[in-house]
Amino acid sequence: MTKMEVKQIDSIAQVSCGAWNGLVETDYPFLRHEFLAALEQSGSVSVQTGWRPAHLLVTADGELLACMPLYVKQHSWGEYVFDQQWAQAYQQYGYPYYPKLLTAIPFTPCQGVRIAMKPAVDLLEVTSLLLEYIKQLAVRAGISSWHCLFPVGRQAENLQALGLFIRQGVQFQWFNQPYRDFDDYLQTLSAGKRKMLRRERRRISEQGIRILQIAGPNVSEQQWRVFYRFYRLTYLKHGAQPYLNPAFFQQLAAKMPEQLLLVFAVKDENYIAAALSLVGADCLYGRYWGCDEEYHSLHFEVCYYQGIDYCIAHGLNRFDSGAQGEHKIARGFRPVTTYSAHWIRDERFAAAIARSVAREQQQVEAYKQDAANYLPFKQ
C-alpha cells in the first residue's frame, strides 16, 4: 500500500457524507456526518463557541482510509470529562492550558468509535500516525494537549499502548436480557424496588398525565418547537444558556429522523415535558429533557421508564441514558466504566497529571463497586 498521509480539514463539509459515513458505523448516530454537520452548520460548534473543527483524514493514493473528529478547544465546557483542575495548575505556574485538542462528540458523553477506518486498515498503525501528526501540530500551534473522550475499550487500549494515560469514569446504563415486557423486567427486582417502580409509574396516570412516543419521521414542526422550549428551559433554570440551538434540531429532523425518538408528557391536552433520544443499532441513547414544572415521578417516567419500554419493544440490548444520576441505580441501571485518553505535551505536567489520574482510578473503582451493591435485583 502507498504510504498513508494525514490531512486536516476545518469543516466536516470538506469531506463528502458518503465518504465519511462509509467508514463510520452509521448505526452509532453521533459519529454520522449528518450529526457532526448539524453541529457545525447550526453554529452550535464554531470558533465563536470555542469549538474550532480540525478533523483529521487518513488517505493513501487519494482513497479515504480513516477519519477522526477533532476540535481546537478554548475551554472545557460541554465535555463531561472534567480537566479544569489541570487548567488551573497550568495557570498557577504561568503556562497556558488552552488551546487544547479534543477528539470527542461535542456535548455528548456517549461511548463509541472515535477513529473510524476501513476494515483492512490496522488500527494501531493509523492511531500511531494520527498521534504523531497531533504531536507535530501541538508544537507548531502552541497546543498543550490532546484528549480523546469516551472511546470504546479497544481504541482506549491502543491509545494507552502508544503512551497516553487512561482516565476512568462511571456511568449508569440499563441492559436488556431480553425481557418480554416491563412487568417481566420488574420480576427481576426485589419486592421493595418492584413496588416502588410500579407506584412511580402509576402516579403518572393518577396525575392525569399521558405519555406519547413519537418516532422522528412523525414529529411535526410544532412539536419540535415545543421540545426545544423544554430543552432550553432545562438550562435557563440553572442560569445558563443551552449549548444547542433550534437549527441543530431542525437539521437532525431533516437529515436523520429515522434515528430520533421523542417522548412527550401531556396533561389537559397540553404538553408539559419532553425527552429526545437517539436510536442506535443495539442501544438507545437518552440525550435531552425538559419540562414546564415538576410532577411526581415525571422525570423517571419520561427519561427512564419510557426508554426501557422502547428497548424491550424493539429488541435493543442497552439503554445509555447519559452522564451522572445515582438515582438510576435503584431503577436497575448498572454502573459501567467509561474511558478517556490524554496526551500532555509538557513532560513535567504530564507526570504530575498521570500520578493524579492513578490515584483517581482507585477511587473510581471503589465507587463503581459500591454503586453495584445498591442495585435492586434479587439476590
The string of pLDDT tens digits covering residues 216-233 is 999 999 999 999 999 999
What pLDDT does 324 receive? 81
Mean pLDDT of 167-173: 97
In a domain, 151, yes or no: yes
Distance CA 81, CA 180 (A): 36
pLDDT score recorded for residue 354: 95
Collapsing DSSP to helix, strand or coil, 206 comes out as helix
Indicate if the pLDDT at residue 153 is higher than 90: no
310 CA to centre of own chain: 19
pLDDT band at 2 (very low <50, low <70, confident <90, very high): confident
The answer to whether the CB of 335 falls within 8 A of the CB of 368 is yes
Statement to judge: residues 96 and 58 lie in one domain: yes
Asked whether 244 and 46 are in contact (CB, 8 A), the reply is no
Residues 60 and 189 in one domain: no
> Which CATH number characterizes residue 36's domain?
3.40.630.30
Predicted confidence at residue 379, as pLDDT, reads: 83
Q: Around Cβ 96, how many Cβ atoms within 10 Å?
A: 12
Q: What is the model's pLDDT at position 325?
A: 86
- Render the burial of 4-31: b for 16+ CB within 10 Å, e for the rest: bebeeeeebeebeeeebbebbebebbbb
Lowest mean pLDDT among 10-19, 216-225, 235-244: 235-244
Both 205 and 343 in a single domain? Answer: no
Going 56 to 58 to 63 to 65, the CA torsion angle's sign is: negative
Do you know the residue count of the chain?
379
Residue 260 in domain: yes
Q: How many CA atoms lie within 13 A of 248 on its CB side?
A: 20
Residue-level pLDDT at 25: 79
Residue 291 lies in a domain: yes
pLDDT digits (tens, 9 = 90+) for 256-291: 999 999 999 999 999 999 999 999 999 999 999 999
**Is 101 within the bounds of a domain?**
yes
Domain of residue 292: give its range. Answer: 177-316
Q: How far is CA 334 from the centre of its chain?
A: 17
- Structure confidence by residue, pLDDT tens digits, 29-43: 999 999 999 999 999
Domain shared by 30 and 72, yes or no: yes
Instruction: Identify whether residues 152 and 181 lie together within a single domain.
Output: no
Whether residue 322 is contained in a domain is answered as no
Contacts of 27 (CB under 8 A, 6+ apart): 280, 281, 282
Q: Which residue has the cell 481546537?
A: 72
CA–CA separation, 139 and 145 (whole Å):
10
Residue 257 and residue 309 in one domain: yes
Q: pLDDT tens, 104-144? A: 999 999 999 999 999 989 999 999 999 999 999 999 999 99
Average pLDDT over residues 153-170: 95
The pLDDT of residue 323 is 86
User: Can you tell me which residue has the cell 467509561?
Assistant: 338
Q: What pLDDT digit, counting tens, does each position of 175-224 carry?
A: 999 999 999 999 999 999 999 999 999 999 999 999 999 999 999 999 99
Q: Assess whether 157 and 188 both reside in one domain.
A: no
Q: Which residues pair with 64 in a beta bridge?
A: 59
pLDDT tier, 26 (very low <50, low <70, confident <90, very high otherwise) = confident
Pair (63, 145) in one structural domain: yes
Rounded to two decimals, the pTM is: 0.96
Instruction: Flag whether 325 is in a domain.
Output: no
Confidence of residue 1 (pLDDT cuts 50, 70, 90): low
Residue 193 shares a structural domain with residue 75:
no
Q: Does a structural domain hold residue 379?
A: no
Same domain, 106 and 12: yes
Q: Could you tell me whether strands 51-53 and 100-103 are parallel, antiparallel, or unpaired per DSSP bridges?
A: unpaired
Average pLDDT along the chain: 96
Residues 56, 139 within the same domain: yes
Q: Number of structural domains, the chain?
A: 2
DSSP code for 303: I
> What would the pLDDT profile of 298-354 be if each residue is shown by its tens digit?
999 999 999 999 999 999 999 999 888 899 999 999 999 999 999 999 999 999 999
328 to each of 14, 307, 333, 351, 373, how far by Cα in Å?
41, 12, 5, 36, 13
Q: Is residue 166 part of a domain?
A: yes
Distance CA 16, CA 153 (A): 28
Give yes or no: residues 245 and 260 share one domain: yes
Half-sphere exposure of 40 (CA within 13 A, CB side): 20
Average pLDDT estimate for 63-91: 97
Closest CA to 83 of 379, 360, 374: 360
pLDDT of residue 118: 95
